């Protein structure tokens, strides 16, 4: 009986030592198609053991076993899972995810996950908006953002439009116009931006979202991010539209004597 107990204890000790001897440290680099990713998360699946990449995209993860699976994740990119096996260095290239990108919104001080933003922020679906036959960005926003009104300011063909966020608050001319920020800089006229040059539009509607811009943002903020160059093959896109406008009814005009 004593021999049996000793044998069981010895087996347990040997199994434990063998398990500890199989754990090791994994190193590697996490990047996208162009550059290393700073702050990417690496986690052993089913555990709380994880780490993050440094400024060069490098990471070091300790106490990893042969049977573990590593989960690599980064905001805006598709998550990847990799079985460790006998590897000691695992380098990963993450791919951008269109679904994940929709969960990220631009705010005054950078970008944040939409679930972490407590203010009222609206993102405009540009795929549908840019399909409209118009060169007027204001017209693109009509009916595509809750709480945003686009009113015709000039009835003449090609006339401008006024954008009002959450109703009128002033009787002064242009007293209800929101602050327009294009690529981080204030901009006078939103319609001076070509619709096809726009990559993203975010609308900040309440005080907590607009506070960083001060009193100029009391009527809300429209944040516009334009497209930028990227590596790859050269592509050329052309959009051509031809439109006409006409008045629905022509009224007779009188001078003072004729009117009397």
Q: Is the pLDDT of residue 229 over 50?
A: yes
Contact between 64 and 86 under an 8 Å Cβ cutoff? The reply is no
Residue 82 confidence class, pLDDT cut points 50, 70, 90: very high
Class of domain 102-226: mainly beta
State the pLDDT at residue 43: 92
> Between the CA of residue 76 and those of 67, 92, 105, 182, 223, what are the distances in Å?
28, 15, 11, 22, 19
State the pLDDT at residue 58: 93
Average pLDDT of the chain to the nearest whole number:
77
Residues of the chain with CATH 2.60.40.1120: 2-96
Residue 12 confidence class, pLDDT cut points 50, 70, 90: low
Residues of the chain with CATH 2.170.130.10: 102-226
Residue the block writes with tokens 């994940």:
100
Could you list the beta-strand ranges (E) of the chain. Answer: 24-31, 41-44, 50-52, 58-64, 69-73, 80-83, 92-93, 104-107, 110-113, 121-123, 148-152, 161-165, 179-182, 185-187, 198-204, 221-226
Class of domain 2-96: mainly beta
Q: Is the pLDDT of residue 77 over 80?
A: yes
């Amino acid at each position: 009986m004593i021999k049996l107990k000793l044998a069981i204890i010895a087996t347990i000790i040997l199994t434990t030592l063998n398990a500890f001897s199989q754990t090791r440290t994994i190193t590697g680099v996490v990047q996208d198609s162009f550059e290393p990713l700073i702050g990417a998360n690496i986690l052993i699946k089913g555990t709380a053991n994880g780490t993050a990449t440094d400024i060069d995209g490098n990471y070091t993860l300790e106490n990893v076993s042969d049977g573990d699976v590593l989960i690599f994740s980064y905001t805006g990119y598709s998550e990847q899972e990799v079985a460790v096996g006998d590897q000691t260095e695992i380098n990963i290239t993450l791919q951008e995810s269109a679904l994940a990108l929709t969960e990220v919104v631009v705010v005054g001080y950078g970008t944040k996950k939409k679930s972490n933003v407590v203010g009222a922020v609206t993102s405009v679906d540009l795929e549908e908006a840019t399909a409209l036959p118009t060169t007027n960005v204001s017209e693109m926003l009509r009916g595509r953002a809750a709480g945003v009104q686009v009113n015709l300011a000039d009835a003449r063909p090609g006339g401008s439009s006024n954008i009002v966020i959450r109703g009128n608050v002033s009787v002064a001319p242009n007293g209800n116009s929101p602050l327009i920020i294009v690529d981080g800089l204030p901009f006078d006229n939103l319609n001076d931006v070509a619709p096809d040059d726009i990559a993203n539009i975010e609308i900040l509607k309440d005080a907590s979202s607009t506070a960083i811009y001060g009193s100029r943002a009391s009527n809300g903020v429209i944040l516009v991010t334009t497209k930028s160059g990227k590596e790859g093959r050269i592509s050329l896109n052309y959009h051509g539209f031809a439109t006409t406008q006409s008045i629905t009814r022509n009224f007779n005009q009188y001078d003072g004597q004729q009117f009397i």
